[in-house]
């Protein structure tokens, strides 16, 4: 085989953890681990929601050979030079997994490489891109017939994140005898500000009623535990008052609240093993709802609006407006008010099913009200089992990463 380069373009924390990881694993499964034949590089573009850890996370993937951080992206896009002056093989493919779809057009031309784009909701530059792996048929609905053969339905990469996190092992382990509730408050500060005190206050309420229930937080790879604790500290996060949450501290590897609730903190694949055994999870919107859906774990999705100014994590133009200096606060309040009024389906399992199969709670949420909803479900296990069945039905077929890797392989031939 002629030596080839595969260049993956990505950007934010969600894309790096839920798209890049399964795709690079699938590429290695199909193309092999001989780096002299197939080299995989990841170049990150700037992202409004980046945590700053995306490059280190991509470097942790054993399938990846080289990673360039987003601060060097523009010089590469304009001049074709990386920060470390990487060499490029004569043959290769640029794979788009996040950012602007025009980036692979420019970079593919500069390197003389074929281009493969994963299109979740919209596909652009049909004439200039070689192949599109699309989430569903609707993405290609308005494509000209002369470009139709470029489009292949691969499915939803969100589903692959769970499959490539040793989930099969997690499923085989079965359920624990304990009753476990997972807490997933998010990984971005806009969500954590309200999400951490709200979910912990809900957990305290449940624990008072069911003291044997265990709680844990799967700490996102883009989040440091000390930073997570800051959002549970009333001296740092004023939003704790909105939920009457008195704070928490770190005791060894656990988070312990002022009311004596012990919350286990887990990272890595161990978190997935524990998630698969949860009776129910409290989560915010985002990729985590897709992972829980893939696991078939019941959940309640929370989007508190106690302070409309706090939620500035929307994508696209709304996110840019909400984060403008000076006027961003006013835009944030207006955008979040409008979003709350016209709320559609927010959780990925609900989007897949095109109906609400897991509860989505938006508004000025109170810990006791949500806590009572959780208690009602725990007292009626048949309702939780019904939710599990619907989640299994909604998640659809897996295999998007393998199908996308096949497209890349075909372009290398």
Q: Is 316 exposed, middle or buried (0-12, 13-18, 19+ CB in 10 A)?
A: exposed
Q: 370 and 347, same structural domain? A: yes
Q: 337 and 308, same structural domain? A: yes
Is 162 a domain residue?
no
Between β-strands 114-119 and 91-96, what pairing exists: parallel, antiparallel or unpaired? parallel
Is 125 a domain residue?
yes
Phi, psi for 60 (deg, rounded to 5): -75, -15
Q: Provide the pLDDT confidence category of residue 165 given band limits of 50, 70 and 90.
A: low
Q: Please, which residues have CB within 8 angstroms of residue 11's CB and are 6 or more apart in sequence?
A: 44, 45, 46, 47, 50, 54, 70, 98, 99
Residue 390 token pair? 């619907």
How many distinct structural domains can be found in the chain? 2
Q: 404 and 390, same structural domain? A: no
What pTM, to 2 d.p., does this model score? 0.72
Kindly report which listed range (20-29, 172-181, 263-272) carries the lowest average pLDDT score.
172-181
**What three-state secondary structure class fits 157?**
helix
Q: 216 and 144, same structural domain? A: no
Mean pLDDT of the residues in the chain:
87
Is 161 a domain residue?
no
Residue 356 token pair? 């609400």
CATH of the domain at 338: 3.40.50.2000
The Cβ of residue 271 has, within 10 Å, a number of other Cβ atoms equal to 22
The Cβ of residue 356 has, within 10 Å, a number of other Cβ atoms equal to 13
Model pLDDT, residue 168: 46
pLDDT at 364 over 70: yes
Q: Are 280 and 292 in contact (CB under 8 A)?
A: no
pLDDT tens digits along 276-304: 889 999 999 888 898 898 888 999 999 88
CA nearest neighbour of 67 among 59, 76, 57: 59
Is 310 a domain residue?
yes
The terminus-to-terminus CA distance of the chain in angstroms comes to: 9
Question: For residues 188-220, b (16+ Cβ closer than 10 Å) or e, as one string?
Answer: bbbbbbbbbbbbbbbbbbbbeeeeebbbbbbbb
Q: Provide the pLDDT confidence category of residue 362 given band limits of 50, 70 and 90.
A: confident
Residue 340 token pair? 């709350």
Q: 105 and 50, same structural domain? A: yes
The Cβ of residue 178 has, within 10 Å, a number of other Cβ atoms equal to 10
Q: 407 and 386, same structural domain? A: no
pLDDT at 11 over 60: yes
Q: Are 133 and 152 in contact (CB under 8 A)?
A: yes
In this prediction, residues 315-344 reach a mean pLDDT of: 53
**Euclidean distance between CA atoms 256 and 151, whole angstroms:** 51
- Whole-number percent of the chain with pLDDT over 90: 64
Is 160 a domain residue?
no
Q: Are 217 and 184 in contact (CB under 8 A)?
A: yes
Kindly report which listed range (9-13, 41-45, 269-273, 347-351) carries the lowest average pLDDT score.
269-273
Q: 309 and 373, same structural domain? A: yes
Is 49 a domain residue?
yes
Model pLDDT, residue 390: 93
Q: Provide the pLDDT confidence category of residue 66 given band limits of 50, 70 and 90.
A: very high
Q: 203 and 128, same structural domain? A: no
Q: 176 and 116, same structural domain? A: no
Containing domain of residue 39, as a range? 4-155+398-412
Which of residues 232 and 270 earns the better pLDDT score? 232
pLDDT at 267 over 90: no
For 23, the enclosing helix (H) or strand (E) is helix 21-31
Model pLDDT, residue 324: 55
Model pLDDT, residue 323: 55
Q: 184 and 56, same structural domain? A: no
Q: 26 and 127, same structural domain? A: yes
Q: Please, which residues have CB within 8 angstroms of residue 221's CB and are 6 or more apart in sequence?
A: 17, 53, 57, 267, 268
Q: 220 and 129, same structural domain? A: no
Kindly report which listed range (24-28, 168-172, 191-195, 328-332) carries the lowest average pLDDT score.
168-172
pLDDT tens digits along 72-118: 999 999 999 999 999 999 999 999 999 999 999 999 999 999 999 99
The Cβ of residue 337 has, within 10 Å, a number of other Cβ atoms equal to 12
């Amino acid at each position: 085989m002629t030596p080839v380069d595969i260049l993956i373009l990505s950007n934010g924390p969600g894309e790096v953890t839920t798209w890049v990881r399964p795709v690079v694993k699938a590429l290695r499964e199909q193309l092999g681990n001989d780096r002299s034949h197939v080299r995989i590089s990841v170049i990150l573009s700037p992202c409004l929601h980046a945590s700053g850890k995306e490059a280190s996370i991509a470097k942790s993937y054993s399938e990846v050979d080289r990673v360039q951080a987003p601060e060097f992206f523009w010089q590469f896009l304009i001049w074709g030079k990386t920060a470390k002056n990487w060499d490029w093989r004569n043959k290769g493919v640029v794979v788009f997994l996040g950012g602007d779809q025009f980036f692979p057009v420019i970079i593919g031309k500069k390197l003389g490489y074929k281009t493969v784009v994963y299109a979740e909701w919209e596909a652009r530059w049909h004439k200039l891109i070689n192949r599109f792996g699309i989430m569903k048929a609707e993405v290609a609905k308005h494509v000209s017939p002369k470009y139709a053969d470029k489009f292949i339905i691969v499915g939803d990469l969100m589903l692959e994140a769970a499959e490539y996190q040793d989930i099969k092992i997690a499923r085989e382990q079965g359920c624990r005898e304990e009753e476990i509730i997972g807490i997933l408050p998010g990984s971005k500060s806009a969500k954590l500000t309200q999400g951490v005190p709200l979910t912990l206050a809900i957990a305290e309420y449940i624990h008072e009623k069911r003291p044997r229930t265990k709680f844990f937080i799967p700490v996102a790879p883009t989040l440091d535990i000390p930073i997570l604790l800051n959002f549970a500290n009333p001296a740092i996060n004023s939003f704790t008052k909105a939920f009457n949450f008195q704070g928490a501290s770190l005791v060894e590897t656990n988070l312990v609240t002022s009311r004596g609730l012990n919350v286990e903190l887990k990272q890595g694949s161990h978190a997935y093993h524990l998630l698969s055994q949860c009776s129910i999870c409290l989560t915010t919107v985002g990729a985590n709802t897709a992972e829980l859906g893939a696991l078939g774990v019941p959940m309640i999705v929370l989007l508190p609006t106690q302070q409309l100014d706090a939620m500035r994590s929307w994508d696209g133009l709304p996110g840019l407006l909400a984060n403008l200096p000076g006027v961003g606060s006013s835009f944030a309040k207006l955008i979040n008010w409008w979003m709350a009024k016209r709320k559609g389906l927010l959780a990925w399992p609900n989007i897949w099913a095109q109906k609400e199969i897991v509860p989505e709670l938006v508004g000025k949420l109170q810990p006791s009200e949500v806590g009572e909803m959780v208690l009602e479900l725990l007292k009626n296990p048949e309702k939780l089992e019904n939710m599990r069945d619907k989640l299994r039905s909604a998640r659809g077929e897996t295999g998007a990463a393998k199908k996308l890797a096949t497209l890349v392989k075909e372009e290398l031939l």
